[in-house]
Amino acid sequence: MEHIVTVQDAVTAFADFMEPTDVELDAIEREMPVILADVDLLDAHIVTLDRTPTELDNRRIRRARRRALAARVVLVNLAAGASLPGGAA
């Protein structure tokens, strides 16, 4: 009978390297407003999957789309401002 312990040691040997780095966690945190806005937009669309959208549904989708686009604009502006030399924005 073969023991799985040797396989487990090989799999878990690289567990420390599989964790996100601090830089990756910072990038996720910067993108979190965009992620949450996209989730809200998806939620608005999911509500209307099994029925005809009402005017209220359409407004909710438009509002969520505007929030998602605004969050993306903020993220792009932050990225553009951070990459300009000399501190010019």
Closest CA to 70 of 27, 45, 33: 33
CA distance 23 to 31: 12
Confirm whether 48 is domain-assigned: yes
Confirm whether 3 is domain-assigned: no
Confirm whether 61 is domain-assigned: yes
Confirm whether 19 is domain-assigned: no
Query: pLDDT at position 79, please?
Result: 86
Confirm whether 86 is domain-assigned: no
Confirm whether 31 is domain-assigned: no
Query: pLDDT at position 64, please?
Result: 97
Structural domain of residue 46, as residue ranges? Answer: 39-80
Confirm whether 22 is domain-assigned: no
Q: What is the mean pLDDT of each run of 10 residues along the chain (89 residues)?
A: 59 69 93 97 96 96 98 93 61
Secondary structure element (H or E) that encloses residue 71, with its range: helix 55-83
Cα first-last separation, the chain: 66
What domain count does the chain have? Answer: 1
Confirm whether 62 is domain-assigned: yes
